[in-house]
Amino acid sequence: MTPLSLHNYLIVGAALFALGAIGFLTRRNLIIMFLCAEMMLQGVALNLVAFSRSWGNMQGQAFTLFVVTVAACEAAIALALFLVLFRYRRSLDVSLWQDLREPDQEATVDDESLPEAPKEEPMPRLTPAGHEPKRPQETSPV
Amino acid sequence: MGLDQPRLELLALLLVPLVGGIAVALLGPKRGDAVRWTSAVVAFLTLFLAIMVTGRFMRLHVSLAEDIAAVRAKGVPTFRPEFVPGSPGVKRDENLKPVGEDPYGTSWNLLPLGRGAVQFYIGVDGLNVWLIMLTAALTVPAVLVSWTYIHERVNEFYAWLLILQTAMMGIFMSFDIILFYVFFELSLVPLFFLIGIWGGSERRHAAGKFFIYTLTGSLITLLGVLGVVLACYTKTNGELTFSIPRLVEIVHTRLALPDRAEQAYWAGVQTWVFLALMAGFAIKVPLVPFHTWLPLAHVEAPTAGSVDLAGVLLKVGAYGFLRLCIPLAPDVSLSLGLPLVSSLAAVGLVYGAYCAYSQDDIKRLVAYSSVSHLGLCMLGMFALNVAGVMGSLMQMINHGLSTAGLFLIVGMLYERYHTRKIADYGGMAARLPILSACMVFVCMSSVGLPGLNGFIGEALSLMGVFEQQYTRGQFPIYGVVGATGMFLGAWYLMTMLQRVFFGPVKEPSLAGHGHQAPITDLTFREVLTLAPVLILCLVIGVYPQPMLDTARPDVGVIDSIATRARERDRVATAEREAARPAVAENDRQGVAP
Amino acid sequence: MLPDLWLIPALPLAAAAITAFLGPRYLRQQSHWPCIIAIALSCVLSLFVWNGVAGMGEEQVAVGQYYSWFRAGTVDIGFSLRADALTAAMLVTVTFVGSWIAVFAVGYMSHEREHNAGYARFFAAVALFIFSMTGLVLADNYIVLYAFWEGVGLCSYLLVGFWFAKPSAAAAARKAFLVTRLGDVGFFIGIMLLWSSFQVPTASGGWSLEFDGVFGHAKQVAATNPGLVATICLLLLCGAVGKSAQFPLYVWLPDAMEGPTPVSALIHAATMVTAGVYLIARSMPLFHLVPGVLLTVACIGAFTALLAALIALTQTDLKRVLAYSTISQIGYMFLALGSANEASLVAAAVIAGMFHLITHAFFKALLFLAAGSVMHSMGNVIDMRRFSGLRFALPTTHWTFLCGALALAAIPPTAGFWSKDEILGVTLHASHSDVPGAWLYVWLFAVGLITAGLTAFYTFRAYFLTFHGELKTPPEAGEHVHESPGVMLWPLRVLAVGALFLGLILGPTHILAHFLEVHWFARSFPGLHAPEGGHDIVLMVASSLVGLSGVAVAWWMYVRSPGLAGQLANRVQTLYQLSLNKFYVDEFYHALLVTPMNMLARVGRVFDTYVVDSLVDLVGHIPRLGGQLLRPIQNGLVQFYALAMMLGMTVFLGALVLRMVR
C-alpha cells in the first residue's frame, strides 16, 4: 500500500474547511456555527500538518499546536458568551443579535417563523458549599 | 565650551513649556490661582530663555558675519543651524561605516532607519530666530489676557496653551523634516481643544472645520515630505537623510549636474514636491481661496487662542514656504510658484481687505485683515530676492505683533461688554480712553504707518517685488496691487475705529450677563499685557536694522538659491531659443535692461 | 554755524512724549508749556539753520546722516536729514507760525482745560505734528520724506478728530486720512518705481533714494526713457495732490474744518497742506525734465484755484470760506511750479511758489486765527448769517482780520500782492516758451487773473458780512460780547504785521529769491543760470486793479446795497445752487467711488460666505456622501459579514490563481 500523498490530506482539509464554511454561513444556531468554525480551523490545521510532513520540518506542526490551543481558548470564551446571550433572549438564534447595524437601517427579519423556543427549564444549580448534595437513591446494590 | 550653553538653553526653550504644561495640568482645576501663576512664570521663563538664545545668536552672527558669508560662498547654498543640541552627526559610507562628521545632523537619533535616522535636530538660524522670539513674546500676553477670562477647567486651558507654545517652538526650531512635520501636526491638537472647549457658541463646528481643513492639507504635505526624502534617497546611492540642510544640499548638488536625464527627473520631482508641500502651507498661511477656516476659527477661539493662531500659527505656513518649498523646489518656485503664489497673494490682499470692510463682527474683521496682510507677506517672499524675503520675514513678525495686539484689545472689549458686533458699540474713546488710544496705535501699526513696525515689512516686501518685476522688465502689477493694500488697510480699519471708538457713546446692553463689576478702563494687568506688544511695535519701526542684520546671512541663502534657479532658467531658455530659429530674438531684446 | 539738524524735530517729539505721558496726570492745566517751549526753541534753531545755510558756499548742503534705518540687499534707507535753502525757508515758516498758533491755542482751548486729558492730548498732537512737519522738510531721501509725510497725515487725523464724540468730526477725520492716503498710494508707487528704475548705487551696494543721487541720475534716465520719468513724476504728483488738497482730491479739506480752529490754521492752512508744494519744488530736478507733467501741474493748479474760488463765493460758514480759499491759493502755488516748463524759468517758478507759500502761511494762519477769535467770542457759532457788525465789539480781531483779508485779496502792498504777482508773471513767461502746449499758459494766466478777482470778492464778502452792518450776535455768545483774551490777540497782531510787510521785505528786495537761487538752485541744477527776475509794472497794475475791483464789488453788494446779493442769487439760481452745493463733487464721488466700494465689499462678503466657503463645505460633504452610499452594508448580521469575507477571499484567491496559471 502506497503511503498517502500530500494531496490526499489537502483534499480532506479542504473538505473540512468547505463544510465548515457552508455550515457557518447557513446555520443560525450559535453553537452549531461555532462548531463549524472549529471545523474550518481543523481543516486548516490538517493542511499545516500535511505540509509540515511533506517538507519534513516542524514549523507547520508548531503552528498547529497554537491553532489547537487558540481553538480551546476560543471555545471556552465563546461558550461562556453564548450562555450569557441565551440568558438575554432565551434563544441561540444568531439573527436576534443584529443591533450593531447603522442606526437608520431596518432590521433584517426572517419570513419563516422559527421553531418554538424550548420550554424554559430550570437551570441546574450547584449546591452551596457546606451542604451535603442530594443524591438520587441507589436503586440496585452493586 | 562656551557654545554648549545655548544648546541646552535651546532645548530648555522646548522643554520648559512642555513640562510647565504637564505640571499645570496636574495641579487640578480647583487651584485656579496656582495654575495661573505657574503658567505666567513658565511663560516669562521661556521668554527669558528666548531672549538669551536670541542675544547669543545675534552676537554670534555679528562677530562671525564675514566668516559665515565666506563659508557659504564656497559650497552649495544651504542652511546652517547654530546651537544644535548633541554632538555633530556621523557620516557613514555605503557599508554603514562611520567616515567622519556630518555637519548637517546631530548625534541625537530618534528613530534609526538603517542608513539614516530621524533625528532630534533642532537649531537656530537667521530665518527662525525672530519667529522663536515672537512665539515666546506672544505667549506672555496670551497667558495674561486669559487671567480673568477663563473660569472653567483652568488647568486644562493653560496646559493646552503651553503645549501649543511647545509645538510652535518645535516647528520653528526643527531642522529634521520629519520632526518638523510632527510638530506641525502637533500644533493642531492644542488649538483644537482651545477652540472646541473654551470657544464661542459655534465652537464645535469651528474647531472641527479648522482641524479637518488644515489636517487635510498637511497630509498632502506629508506626501511631499516623503517624496523629497525618497527622491534624494534614490539619487544618492541610498543615503537616507531627513536633515533639511542636507536635503537642500543634495537637491542643489544634483541640480548642478550637467546631465539631461537628471535634470528632467528633478524637474518632475520638484513640481510634485512643490505642489504637495504647498497644499498644506497654502491652507495654513492662508492663501485665498483656502482661507475660510480662518475667520470661523478666530471668531470662536478664546482671545489667547486667537493671539497664538494669528500671531504665530499663520506664520507656520509662510515659514514652511521659506524653509521647505523654495529651497527644495527652487526651479518650480520660480517658474510655477512665482506666478501662482504671487497672483493668489495679490488677489487675497485685495479680497481680504474688501471682505474685512463689510464684516459686522470686529474679530472677523481682524481675521480677514490677516488674510490681506499675509497676502503681502507671500507677495514679498515670492519676489525671491533679499529685499522681498527680508520684507516677508519682517511682515511675519510685524503682523504677529500688530494682529495679536488687535485681538488682545478686542478680547478686552469683549470681556467688558460680551459682544463683538460693531453696531453695538460707539464712542468707546470717551468711555475707555486708554484702551482706545492703544487701539488707534495698533491700528496705525497694522495700517503701516512709517515709524511703526508694519511699514518696515510692507516697504521691504514691496521694494522686493518692484525690484524683481522691474529687473525682469515686467509691469510691476504685483507691486501696484500691494501698494493699494496700504489704502485698503486704512479704509477698513479707520472705518471700524470710527464706528466703534468715535462718535457719541453707545454702550452695549449688559442685560443677561448677570451682575457685573462697573466697566473700567484698562487694569494694570491689561496694561502689562499690551505694553510689550506696543513697545515692540515702536522699536521695530524705528530701528529694525539689528533684526535685518541677524537674518541677513540666511536670507542670503534663499537669495542665492533663487539666483541659481534664475541662472538655470536663463540657460534653459537660451538653449530653447538656440534650438528654435531666431524669431523670438527681438522680443527678448526688448526685455530686461 | 549750523546747529544739529536732528534737534529741530527732536524737541517737539520730546515735548509730545512728555505731554502725552505726563500731561493728564501731572501737568494738567499747564500741558501747553512743553509744546510751546519746544516749538519756540525749534524756531530759534531754524533761524540758525537759515543763517547757517546763507553762510555756506554755493553748492554746499548740510547733510546729517544718523543711522541706517533699514538695509537689506538692494534696499539701503538711511535716516538722514539735510538743510538747504528750500528746507530752511520751510522750517522757519513752519516753526514761526506754529509757535504763535500754539500760543493762540492756549486761549482758544481754554474750554478744554477742565478736561485735563483733552487739553494734554491737543498739545501732544500739535507737538507731534511739528515734529513730523519739520522732519518732512528736513528729510534727505524719499522714504524718510514719505515717513514724515504719513506722520503729518496721522497728526491731521488725530487733530481733525479731536472732538471725536461729534460724528461729523469723526467722519471728517477718517475722510481726511483716507483721501490723502489714496494719493499717498500713488506717491509710494512712484517712490518704488523711482527706486527700482534709477538704481542709484550707494556705498553699501544698495540702491539709493537720496535726493542728490536721484537727481544726479535723472537727466541720464530721462534721455533714454522719458516716459518713465513722466510716470514717476505723475505718481509723485498724486501724493502732492492728495496732501495739498488739489483737484480731484481736495474734498477732505473743507470737512477737516471740524477740527479746532488753531488746527485748521496750522495744519489745514499754513503748513501741512503746503507739503505737496514742497514735494514738487524739492523734486523739481525731476519734474523740469518732463514739460508735459509740469503742464498738468499747472492745469490742476489753475483749475483748482478757480473751482475753489467759485465754491467759496457762496459759502456761509466763515471757516469753510477760508478753507476753500486755502485750496484756491495752493492752486496758485501749483500753477507757479507748473510754469517751470523751460530751464530758464525753473528758478523763478519755484521762487514764486515758495514765496506765495510763505506769505500764504502768514496771512492764512492769521485769517483762521481771527476767525477762531470770532468763533470764541460767538460761542462756537461760525455761520456768517448769524452774526454781523462785529467791528466795534471785537476791535483787534477786526483789524487783524482786515490785514489778512487785504493780503489774501492781494491788495498792494500787502504780502499776498507781491507773491501772487510773481506767480502771474512767471505763468505769463511760461507761455512764451517754445515747449509744445505753451500756448495753454496764456489761458492759465487768464484763469489766474480772474481767480484773483474772485478771491478779493469772496474774502471781502466774508469780511463785510462778519464785521460790517448792524451788530447782531447769536444767543450762544451770551449777553456781553467780549474781545478774546490777550493770549489770543498777540499772535494775531504778530501775524498781521507779517501779512502786511513780509511781502515787502522778501519780494522787491529779492532776499528770498537770492537765498533760494544760491543755496538751492545752484546745487540742484548745476550748469543752469537763473536770470534776474524783474517786476512787470503793467502786470502789477493790472492785478492790483483786479483785486481792488473785487473788493469794490463786495463792498457794493454787501455794504452799500445789502439786498443785491440775494437778488443776484435769485437771478442765476442754477449757478448759485451749483456753487452752494460745491458743484456736487462730494455727491459725485459718493456715487462713483464710495458706494461701489461698499457694494463690492458687501459682494465680497456674500461671495466669501456663500461661494468660497460653500465650496469647501461641499468638498467636506463628499466623504459623507460616500458613507451614505455604503451604509446599508453595515446591517449587523454576522452571517452577512462572514459571507462578504468569504467572497472577498474567493475573489482575492481567484485572482491569485489566475495570475499563477497565466
Nearest to C632 among A94, A100, A105 (CB): A105
The residue-averaged pLDDT of B493-498 equals: 92
Average pLDDT of chain B to the nearest whole number: 87
- Listed in sequence order, the DSSP H helices in B285-385 are 293-300, 303-308, 314-320, 326-328, 330-332, 338-357, 362-381
C-alpha R_g of chain A: 22
Q: What pLDDT, on the 0 to 100 scale, is given for residue C530?
A: 66
Cα distances from B519 to residues B507, B512, C24, in angstroms, run 10, 16, 21
Q: Which residue type occupies B174?
A: S
Of residues C355 and B76, the one with the higher pLDDT is C355
Q: What pLDDT, on the 0 to 100 scale, is given for residue C393?
A: 86
Contact check, Cβ <8 Å, C632/A24: no
Residue C282 has pLDDT above 60, yes or no: yes
The chain C residue lying nearest A17, using CA atoms, is C646
Q: How many whole angstroms separate alpha carbon B271 and alpha carbon B287?
A: 19
Residue A13 has pLDDT above 90, yes or no: yes
Q: What percent of chain B has pLDDT over 90?
A: 52
- What is the full DSSP assignment across A9-70? HHHHHHHHHHHHHHHHHH--BHHHHHHHHHHHHHHHHHHHHHHHHHHT-SHHHHHHHHHHHH
Most B CBs within 10 A among C129, C608, C612, C615, hence the mutation to make, goes to C608
Residues of chain C positioned with their CB less than 8 A from the CB of A97:
636, 638
The chain C residue lying nearest A94, using CA atoms, is C638
Residues of chain C positioned with their CB less than 8 A from the CB of B213:
616
Please, which pLDDT band fits residue A118 given cuts at 50, 70 and 90? low
Residue A130 has pLDDT above 60, yes or no: yes
Residue C243 has pLDDT above 90, yes or no: yes
Residues of chain A positioned with their CB less than 8 A from the CB of C636:
97-101, 105, 107-108
Chain C contact for B99 (CB, 8 A cutoff): no
Considering only residues 634 to 653 of chain C, which have any Cβ-Cβ distance to chain A shorter than 8 Å? 634-640, 642-643, 646
Chain C contact for B200 (CB, 8 A cutoff): no
Contact check, Cβ <8 Å, C73/B559: yes
Residues of chain A positioned with their CB less than 8 A from the CB of C637:
95, 98, 101, 108
Residue B65 has pLDDT above 50, yes or no: yes
CB C347 within 8 A of CB C473: no
Residue carrying C-alpha cell 495732490:
C241
CB B282 within 8 A of CB B344: yes
Q: Which residue type occupies B230?
A: L
Most C CBs within 10 A among A22, A98, A104, hence the mutation to make, goes to A98
Contact check, Cβ <8 Å, B502/C170: yes
Q: How many whole angstroms separate alpha carbon B464 and alpha carbon B478?
A: 11
Q: What pLDDT, on the 0 to 100 scale, is given for residue B237?
A: 76
Q: How many residues does chain B have?
A: 593
Contact check, Cβ <8 Å, C636/A100: yes
**Which residues, 6+ apart, have CB-to-CB distance to C259 below 8 Å?**
C159, C160, C161, C162, C163, C169, C172, C173, C267, C268
Q: Could you tell me which of B356, B443, B458 has the C-alpha nearest to residue B408?
A: B443
Q: Which three cell numbers stand for residue C116?
A: 485735563
Question: For B120-134, how does the pLDDT look when each residue is reduced to its tens digit (9 = 90+)?
Answer: 999 998 899 999 999
pTM for this entry? 0.88
Contact check, Cβ <8 Å, C638/A108: no
Residue B284 has pLDDT above 50, yes or no: yes
Q: How many whole angstroms separate alpha carbon C153 and alpha carbon C132?
A: 9
SS3 state at B258: coil
- Do chains B and A touch by CB distance (3+ pairs < 8 Å)? no
**Which residues, 6+ apart, have CB-to-CB distance to B591 below 8 Å?**
B472, B473
Nearest to C601 among B354, B385, B471 (CB): B354
Chain B contact for C161 (CB, 8 A cutoff): yes
- Do chains C and A touch by CB distance (3+ pairs < 8 Å)? yes
What is the separation of C-alpha C10 from the centre of its chain, rounded to a whole number of angstroms? 22
Residue B63 has pLDDT above 50, yes or no: yes
Query: Could you say which DSSP state residue B207 is in?
Result: H
**Which residues, 6+ apart, have CB-to-CB distance to B515 below 8 Å?**
none
Chain B contact for C116 (CB, 8 A cutoff): no
Max Cα-Cα span within chain B: 84
Residues of chain C positioned with their CB less than 8 A from the CB of A25:
639, 642-643, 646
Q: In chain B, what are the helix, strand and coil shares in percent, each to the nearest 5?
A: 75, 5, 20
Question: For B334-357, how does the pLDDT look when each residue is reduced to its tens digit (9 = 90+)?
Answer: 999 899 999 999 999 999 999 999
Chain C contact for B387 (CB, 8 A cutoff): yes
User: Residue B98: what are its φ and ψ, rounded to 5°?
Assistant: -65, 135
Contact check, Cβ <8 Å, C613/B357: no
Question: For C614-656, how does the pLDDT look when each residue is reduced to its tens digit (9 = 90+)?
Answer: 898 898 889 889 988 888 888 888 889 999 999 999 999 999 9
Q: How many whole angstroms separate alpha carbon B342 and alpha carbon B349?
A: 10
Highest mean pLDDT among B76-80, C51-55, C201-205: C51-55
Q: Cα angle vertex C612, ends C611, C614, to 5°?
A: 65
Considering only residues 280 to 299 of chain B, which have any Cβ-Cβ distance to chain C shorter than 8 Å? 288-289, 291-293
Q: How many whole angstroms separate alpha carbon B391 and alpha carbon B378?
A: 10
Residue A80 has pLDDT above 70, yes or no: yes
Q: Could you tell me which of C515, C521, C511 has the C-alpha nearest to residue C53?
A: C515
Q: How many whole angstroms separate alpha carbon B74 and alpha carbon B82?
A: 19
Considering only residues 138 to 157 of chain C, which have any Cβ-Cβ distance to chain B shorter than 8 Å? 143, 146-148, 150-151, 154
Q: Which residue type occupies A108?
A: T
For the beta sheet containing C200-201, the strands, ordered from the edge strand earlier in sequence to the opposite edge, are C62-72, C75-83, C207-208, C200-201
The residue-averaged pLDDT of C593-604 equals: 90
Q: What pLDDT, on the 0 to 100 scale, is given for residue B515?
A: 56
Q: How many whole angstroms separate alpha carbon C554 and alpha carbon A87?
A: 114
Of residues C190 and C22, the one with the higher pLDDT is C190
Chain B contact for C167 (CB, 8 A cutoff): yes
Residues of chain A positioned with their CB less than 8 A from the CB of C635:
98, 101-102, 105, 108
Residues of chain A positioned with their CB less than 8 A from the CB of C642:
24-25
Contact check, Cβ <8 Å, A102/C631: yes
Residue C3 has pLDDT above 80, yes or no: no
Residue carrying C-alpha cell 517652538:
B169
Residue A140 has pLDDT above 80, yes or no: no
Chain C contact for B543 (CB, 8 A cutoff): yes
Q: Which residue type occupies C163?
A: W
Q: What pLDDT, on the 0 to 100 scale, is given for residue B593?
A: 38
**Which residues, 6+ apart, have CB-to-CB distance to B314 below 8 Å?**
B284, B285, B286, B294, B370, B374, B399
Q: Could you tell me which of C134, C126, C151 has the C-alpha nearest to residue C46?
A: C134
Q: What pLDDT, on the 0 to 100 scale, is given for residue C430?
A: 86
Torsion-angle region of C584 (φ positive above 0: left; ψ -120 to 50: alpha; else: beta)? left
Q: What pLDDT, on the 0 to 100 scale, is given for residue B581?
A: 64
Question: For B198-227, how does the pLDDT look when each residue is reduced to its tens digit (9 = 90+)?
Answer: 988 888 999 999 999 999 999 999 999 999
Cα distances from C372 to residues C260, C300, C354, C384, in angstroms, run 8, 30, 26, 13
Q: What percent of chain C has pLDDT over 70?
A: 98
Q: Which three cell numbers stand for residue A86?
A: 441565551
Contact check, Cβ <8 Å, C637/A108: yes
CB C246 within 8 A of CB C301: yes
Contact check, Cβ <8 Å, B357/C598: yes
Contact check, Cβ <8 Å, C642/A25: yes
Partners of residue C71 on adjacent β-strands: C76
Of residues B281 and A121, the one with the higher pLDDT is B281
Closest Cα in chain B, distance from residue C69 (Å): 6
Q: What pLDDT, on the 0 to 100 scale, is given for residue C113?
A: 77
The chain C residue lying nearest B466, using CA atoms, is C196
CB C93 within 8 A of CB C361: yes
Is the bond preceding A103 in cis, omega lying within 30 degrees of 0? no
Contact check, Cβ <8 Å, C632/A104: no
Q: How many whole angstroms separate alpha carbon B268 and alpha carbon B262?
A: 10
What is the separation of C-alpha A139 from the centre of its chain, rounded to a whole number of angstroms? 37
Chain B contact for C73 (CB, 8 A cutoff): yes
**Which residues, 6+ apart, have CB-to-CB distance to B480 below 8 Å?**
C189
Closest Cα in chain C, distance from residue A97 (Å): 8
Please, which pLDDT band fits residue C216 given cuts at 50, 70 and 90? confident
Q: How many whole angstroms separate alpha carbon B538 and alpha carbon C225?
A: 40
Average pLDDT of chain C to the nearest whole number: 89
Q: Could you tell me which of C458, C239, C238, C440 has the C-alpha nearest to residue C328?
A: C458
Contact check, Cβ <8 Å, A107/C636: yes
Query: Could you say which DSSP state residue C26 is in?
Result: I
Please, which pLDDT band fits residue B1 given cuts at 50, 70 and 90? very low
ipTM, 2 decimals? 0.92
Q: What pLDDT, on the 0 to 100 scale, is given for residue B445?
A: 93
Nearest to B390 among C73, C117, C181 (CB): C73
Chain B contact for C164 (CB, 8 A cutoff): yes
Partners of residue C201 on adjacent β-strands: C207
Please, which pLDDT band fits residue B592 given cuts at 50, 70 and 90? very low
CB C644 within 8 A of CB A25: no
Q: Which three cell numbers stand for residue B239?
A: 543615503
